[in-house]
Amino acid sequence: KYDYYDLVLRTPTHPAHPIEASLMTPSELTTLKKHTKTRFEGNYHIDTTLTPEQRIEKVFGGRIKGEAPKSSSRILRGKPRVIAGVTVPARPDEPDNCCMSGCINCVWELFEEDLKDWNEKRTIAAKALVEKGGRWPEDFYAPVQKLPRDNLPLSLAKKDDAELYGDSSDKAAEDESWGNVPMSFRVFAELEKKMKAKK
């Protein structure tokens, strides 16, 4: 999500070519130079070995071809794990930099998207684990509502059914995934999403 800003920071302040040149072929750049009076100085150059798709990826990032979403946080504290053949990302961390002013790309809205993606991957991994057998890893937020006792981590398997499966509704599963995030932030994230959808 930050690839554009990283590109801006890496780009010299006095480039040899405009930034659009990274999307052009050498012949297109030559044509552009014939019709522009602006002269660019510096060490910016065009990599002629890149395909058009790779040039687009340099500017817009890798999500074009359907890559997995990257966390909205630059600080990744946990590593993904492969569970029953499914790569499950670490639980996304709650943002601590929300200004509560209704930004177009609110960090809580991004967090909610990351959380939904994480939950989808956990659900897929839980189904695969039930089919293949095995236990969910300790300290990796087991989706308790989606796993039978045989597949739960040992620390959870010892608890009684009332404690584990007390409320098996979808709402309870959603509450579990949000963790200790205050209700006010959850409501704020939902409101931001609804307002964005209206625009």
Distance (Å, rounded) from C-alpha 143 to C-alpha 27? 55
Give dist(CA 18, CA 190) in Å, integer. 40
Q: Give residues with Cβ within 8 angstroms of 37, minimum separation 6.
A: none
Domain boundaries, the chain: 3-65, 81-198
Amino acid in the structure at residue 185? F
Half-sphere exposure in the Cβ direction for 133 (13 Å, CA): 0
* Cβ atoms 115, 106 nearer than 8 A: no
Per-position b or e across 33-44, b if 16+ CB within 10 A of its CB: eeeeeeeeeeeb
Per-residue pLDDT of the chain (199 residues; tens, 9 = 90+): 567 777 777 766 666 666 667 677 778 877 877 777 665 544 456 677 878 777 777 666 655 555 665 655 555 567 888 898 898 888 888 887 777 777 777 788 888 888 888 889 999 999 999 999 888 888 888 888 888 888 888 887 777 766 666 655 555 555 566 666 777 777 777 777 777 777 6
Residue 127 has a pLDDT of 93
Grouping H, G, I as helix, E, B as strand and the rest as coil, residue 55 is: helix
pLDDT of residue 68: 60
